[in-house]
Each structure stands twice: as structure tokens, then as C-alpha cells.
Chains A and B, each alone.
Chain A
Amino acid sequence: MTELSAHLPQFQHGQLTENFPDNHLSNTNDNSERRRHDNSERRRNDNPGSETNGQPQNNIQQVVDQDEEEDEELTLKYGANIYTPFTEETDTIGQRALNSILNAAIMISVIIVMTILLVVLYKYRCYKVIHGWLIISSLLLLFFFSFIYLGEVFKTYNVAMDYITVALIIWNFGVVGMICIHWKGPLRLQQAYLIMISALMALVFIKYLPEWTAWLILAVISVYDLVAVLCPKGPLRMLVETAQERNETLFPALIYSSTMVWLVNMAEEDPEGQRKASKNSTYDKQAPANQPQNEDAEADDGGFSQEWQQQRDNRIGPIESTPESRAAVQALPSNSQTSEDPEERGVKLGLGDFIFYSVLVGKASATASGDWNTTLACFVAILIGLCLTLLLLAIFKKALPALPISITFGLVFYFATDNLVQPFMDQLAFHQFYI
């Protein structure tokens, strides 16, 4: 993703809870930098044709190319350096450590400031600002970042592609994404899109954060997550409590939800109370699973239609279900838990957690010497951390930070596998020993 300009535009930060918001932090793009990129990109694309023209022209083109690339690199480095101004190419280890600590401190303070800004906006009911912010960020992710990613993929595999096809692909991808995320869509599609934008965001982090800074940021952000969610004056906890006071769900567009909300119909005596009121959830609704055939208020047949009754009479003989018998059945302890709110049975995870999990696994895959072993170990560690967090969620039943346990396990496994397990497995594989 070399054309990515500037910044680290967004941090999405959230925790694991039953109904929970996300913090959404973004910084606006530097338009001039973007324009410069588009120009240099176009110039770069014109160049492949010049390869056939002969040597001198080639050299000139290559020199122009290099100048443009250096230009771009400088721009990108400059952009990334806003957040990580201290370089890690230093002479001593101590200096490098100090620089990475300072970089991490800057990033974390940016995140804290953005979180507090979001909480303040929410408290003072500036919903329009927040929604506008969210829409701009998802537009950016779905269109711009995916375009850049696609460009990089095509470059890597040397695929020739025209702009019209790319425009069509990106347009469709982006529009369907916006609809699924901000409005309604099939649950699996919405989950897929949320995962894709988290992965794109994580790629930005992986590419532009220097190495030690990235690990430090991961560690510090887990601590911050713990503090922000559990401390009484933590910004995220205040956000949850405000939402609960106002009895509304926050930012449904930026939470990954594992279940769908359905409208469950129970055959109740009172036909007016026949449809269960569902919570105000804007993004995933499905048509009610059972529709009572007969909603006639006078003939309260409890939802059993005439044809069904005839069939039943034919099969097992005339049995009448009266309101009294139905009441008796309903009085029995229900096995099916339909009385429980369906939304509570699922789990909601903030997208920021996805992003940082992806950063961990991505960095493990990119920079480890153990290649696949390290990646898989981190993967398993994060999954187990999430399992434990869900277990704690089931026990404590309140908003919990999803980052600390998983990131801790992930970091431990990364460093342990990379330094201890990899040489061992390497030696074993060399001799073809199996354990």
C-alpha cells in the first residue's frame, strides 16, 4: 500500500460487551497529498509501455520514476511521521527503545484524546456529528483503502487491469458495504464487510508503524483498554453508562454482532400482545419466523389456522385447544428460552478489537523468522484469549475489555515461538524428526 497518504487516519476502539459502542477516531485526509499521489500513480502507470522504446528513453523514464518514487516515499514517510516522528533507525539500542516509547506515547495520547472527544460529543447529544464522522470513515475505508489495496495486489501479481473495471468493482464493493454496514443486510454479508474493513485498517498499521513501536502500542493499548472500560471514570465506561441511562444502543454500524435479531412469536392469549417488541436495532432484522395465520381478534384460536386444525383432527382425533388449555401450557416452564431477549444471546465485539488482533497476527506473519509457526501460534493464542474473555463475560455480565487477555497471550506466544520454538522445530525438520 505504497500510495497510502498521510496518516493513520482511524482508530476504532471498542470492547466486548452485550450492547456496546465503538469509539471512532478519525483524522481527515490531507487532500494535497492525495492529489499528488494520484498524479504520480498515473505517471507510473504510463511507464511500462516505455520499456520497449529503447535504452536512453528507458533510463530517463527510470530516473523520472525514481524521483517520483522518492517523492512519494518522502510524502508517505512524512505522513506517517506525524504520528511516529521518532525514527527507529538509530545507532544504539537504547536510543531506539527510547524513540519507540515516545512514538507509542504519542499514538496513545492521540487515541485518548479522540476517545474523550467522542464521549463528550455523545454526552452533549451531537449525534449528527458522530454519524457524519462514522459515515466519512467507512466511506474512506470502503472506497479509498480498498482501491489502494487492490492496486497493490495487482502490482504484486503483475495483473494488467483497466480503470473502468476497477471503478466498477470498487463502486459495487463500496456501495454494498455502506448499505450492509449502516443500514440493513444479510448478517453474514455484514460480518464479512466488517471483517474486511478491520483487516484493511490493520494493514495500514502493519505497513506504517515501525517495529518496536508497533509492539509497544499493542501492549499499551491493552492496558488502556483495561483502564478505560473498567475504571469508574474511564471514558468508555462513561459511554456505556450514558447509553444505558438513555436506554439506547450506540453506533450499530461499528460493532460486530454474532447473531441476528429475530421477532419471535409466541401464541399468547391476548392477540394484541402477539408480536414481541424487539429492541431498536437498525441493522439486522429478519421477517418474523412464524406468522399467525389468523389475527382475528374475536376468534382467538391461538394461532392455529382452520386447515391445521382439520389436519390435526384427521390424524389424531378431535382434540380442542381452548384458551384455558393454552394458558396451562404457557404456565409450564418454558424450555425454549423464547422469553429471553434474542439480542442478549449473541455477542458483540468492537471493531477496534478486531483491528488490533489483526495487527498482532499480521505483524507476526510479516516479521517473524518462524514464518507459519509463529503466525499460527499467535492465532491460537488470540482465540483462546477471546474464549476466556467470553467466559468472563458470561460470569460477570457487564462490559469487558476484549483486548488485554488476547493481546497478552498473543505477545507471549509471538516472542516465545519466534525465539524458542522456531529453532527447535527448525532443527527437528532439518533431520526430519517428528515429536
Chain B
Amino acid sequence: MGAAVFFGCAGIAFGPALALVLLTVAAEPLRVIILVAGAFFWLVSLLLASLIWFISVHLSDQGNARLQYGLLIFGAAVSVLLQEAFRFAYFKLLKKADEGLATISEDGRSPISLKQMAYVSGLSFGIISGVFSVINILADSIGPGIVGIHGDSPYYFITSAFLTMAVVLLHTFWGVIFFDACERRRYWCLGLVVISHLVTSGLTFLNPWYVASLVPIYIITFCMGIWAFFTAGGSFHNILKCLSCKQEDDSRVMMYSALQVPFED
């Protein structure tokens, strides 16, 4: 307990997200706006899901523990479906915004591509989802206390941190795959993304049996990562080129001729 657990778990949970934001999003205002708007959409989906859960709980018998447990699982499932629905809505909004940006820009091309928007929106969903899941737990981990004194698992904090990291990465990958699937109208991809989200959420119901929940979730994360990589246009060839650190020759040459505007290539 204490500062060590807090900083360690915060680093595990949000390290990749922070690095991604600092390196790819923070410098460009348009991406920051897309990040915050994505967080807003996720929040609205969570609000609706909580509303449904709240109503269902208050309409039911509050003494029945099994029923409440079932309603919680039902609420989680509804929340997952609503998140994906709002991801779709965000896709629609971003497409419209893309067209708008293209019309008001000078050369007719939007300053940000749909693939970049897919990545940033996935990251935004991931960050806000991770933050909402784990921030109160992190805040509690600073204070005094003993974990698992009533027989629960003593690994609560660290497994929460790892789960959060997985969730952040998963949302990023799902964002990329989802937007690409919507763009190319490959509905089976969409279905697969939704199903994998449901499976991931379902696997967490096996907590605290961490072997059964964490390991498959990380396997899913890894597979989604590879899928997203290939969807975004990556390939083995790209990796080799990146690793070999070769610099491309700039094959363009600027033409000056009595200060005329150079021809467009």
C-alpha cells in the first residue's frame, strides 16, 4: 500500500496510453479535440447504460442477491453494446466532420485522415474507459489499508492495473478495426469486434480466478493488435523497413523559374 503501489499501478495502467498521447496526439490540436469528443461519447453511452441498470435495480427485489448479480451482468452487457453503438455514432460524426474539413481546407484534402481519426477515437474510448474503471481504486491505494483482509485476493490492485492496460489497448485496436470495417462495409468484422468486446467483458466476470481471466484477455489483446496493425496498412515489409532505419531519398526537386509557382506534381 502507499505511494509505491499507487505509482506502480498507475504506471502499468496508463503508461502505454500516456506515451501514445504524448507522442501522437498532444502536438496536434485536431487530434486533441477528437480525443476529448470520443471521451464524451463514451461517457454518454455509460450514462445510458447506468440509467438502464438503475431502473432495472429499482424495479426489482433488492434483497435477492442472485438477482442483483444477474442484473449487474445484464447491465455490463448492455453497457458493452451501447459503447459499440456510440462508437458507430462517433464514426458517423467523424466522417461528416472529415468531409467538412475537406471542404474548408485550401487544397481540398482534410488535414487528418480517417485512419488517424480511427486510432485517436479508439485511444480516447480506451483512456476514458480505463480511467473510469480504475481511478477510484488508484485513489484508494494511496491510503492505509490491507488488501483482501476478508478473504478476497491480495492481488487486487496489480490485476486491476493490468486489466486496465489491456482495456486501453483493446479499445485502441477495436477503434482502428471498427472504423475500417464501417468504411469498407465489412459487417462480419464489426460483429467480430462486438463479440470480442463482449467476451472480454465476460472474462472479467471470472475474477478473482486471474489465470482464467487475465491470460485469455491478453491473448485477445495481442490478436486484436496484430489484426489492427494489418488493417491500418502495416505489413512485414514495413516492420523490416522501420527496423533497418534507412532514410528515404527525397525524390522531389523544387523548380525555380523566374519566380513562377512550381507545377503541382
Q: How many Å lie between the Cα of A416 and that of B49 in the bound state? A: 12
Of A372, A380, A431, A435, which contacts B79 at CB under 8 A? A435
Q: How many Å lie between the Cα of A55 and that of B156 in the bound state? A: 46
Q: How far is the CB of A147 from chain B (nearest CB, A)?
A: 29
Of B46, B73, B106, B160, which contacts A432 at CB under 8 A? B160
> Contact: A424 with B53, CB < 8 Å?
yes
> Contact: A434 with B36, CB < 8 Å?
no
Of B36, B200, B208, which contacts A387 at CB under 8 A? B36
* Closest chain A residue, CB of each to CB of B204: A434
Of B37, B135, B160, which contacts A372 at CB under 8 A? B135
Q: How far is the CB of A360 from chain B (nearest CB, A)?
A: 16
* Closest chain B residue, CB of each to CB of A433: B204
Q: Contact mask A371-401 → B, CB, 8 Å, 1/0? A: 1110011001101100100000000000000
Q: How many Å lie between the Cα of A428 and that of B205 in the bound state? A: 10
Would A380 and B201 be within 8 Å (CB), given that A420-B54, A421-B50, A428-B72 are in contact?
A: no
Is B167 in the interface zone, CB < 8 Å from A?
yes
Of A335, A381, A435, which contacts B76 at CB under 8 A? A435
| Interface size of A as a range | 35 or more
> Contact: B129 with A433, CB < 8 Å?
no
Q: How far is the CB of B139 from chain A (nearest CB, A)?
A: 6
| Interface size of B as a range | 35 or more
Is B23 in the interface zone, CB < 8 Å from A?
no
> Contact: A433 with B261, CB < 8 Å?
no
Q: How far is the CB of A376 from chain B (nearest CB, A)?
A: 6
* Closest chain B residue, CB of each to CB of A421: B50
Q: How far is the CB of A393 from chain B (nearest CB, A)?
A: 14
Q: Contact mask B127-161 → A, CB, 8 Å, 1/0? A: 01101110111010000000000000000100110
By a CB distance below 8 angstroms, the chain B residues around A316 are 256
* Closest chain B residue, CB of each to CB of A329: B259
Q: How many Å lie between the Cα of A434 and that of B135 in the bound state? A: 13
> Contact: A380 with B258, CB < 8 Å?
no
* Interface-lining segment among A70-78, A211-219, A319-327: A319-327
* Closest chain B residue, CB of each to CB of A317: B256
By a CB distance below 8 angstroms, the chain B residues around A435 are 46, 49, 76, 79-80, 83, 129, 133, 201
Would A421 and B259 be within 8 Å (CB), given that A383-B36, A387-B33, A432-B204 are in contact?
A: no
By a CB distance below 8 angstroms, the chain B residues around A423 are 50, 54
Is B117 in the interface zone, CB < 8 Å from A?
no
Q: How far is the CB of A379 from chain B (nearest CB, A)?
A: 9
Q: How far is the CB of B75 from chain A (nearest CB, A)?
A: 6
Would A425 and B132 be within 8 Å (CB), given that A420-B54, A435-B79 are in contact?
A: yes
By a CB distance below 8 angstroms, the chain B residues around A373 are 132, 135-136
Would A376 and B54 be within 8 Å (CB), given that A432-B159, A435-B76 are in contact?
A: no
> Contact: B201 with A381, CB < 8 Å?
no
Q: How many Å lie between the Cα of A433 and that of B163 in the bound state? A: 10
> Contact: A421 with B33, CB < 8 Å?
no
Would A332 and B76 be within 8 Å (CB), given that A384-B37, A420-B50, A432-B208 are in contact?
A: no
Is B40 in the interface zone, CB < 8 Å from A?
yes
Of B75, B131, B137, B139, which contacts A424 at CB under 8 A? B75
> Contact: A421 with B46, CB < 8 Å?
yes
**17 other contacts beyond A384-B36, A433-B72, with CB at 8 A cut-off?**
A319-B256, A325-B258, A372-B136, A373-B132, A373-B136, A377-B43, A383-B40, A413-B43, A416-B47, A424-B50, A424-B53, A425-B132, A431-B205, A432-B204, A432-B207, A434-B163, A434-B201
Residue numbers of A with Cβ under 8 A of B are: 316, 319, 321, 325-326, 328-329, 332, 335, 370-373, 376-377, 380-381, 383-384, 387, 413, 416-417, 419-421, 423-425, 427-429, 431-435
13 contacts across the A-B interface (CB closer than 8 A)? A319-B256, A325-B259, A372-B131, A380-B128, A384-B37, A413-B43, A423-B50, A425-B132, A429-B136, A432-B156, A432-B160, A433-B76, A433-B204
The 10 A-B residue pairs with the shortest CB-CB distance in the complex, in nearest-first order: A432-B207, A424-B50, A420-B50, A372-B135, A434-B204, A435-B79, A421-B50, A384-B40, A325-B259, A435-B76
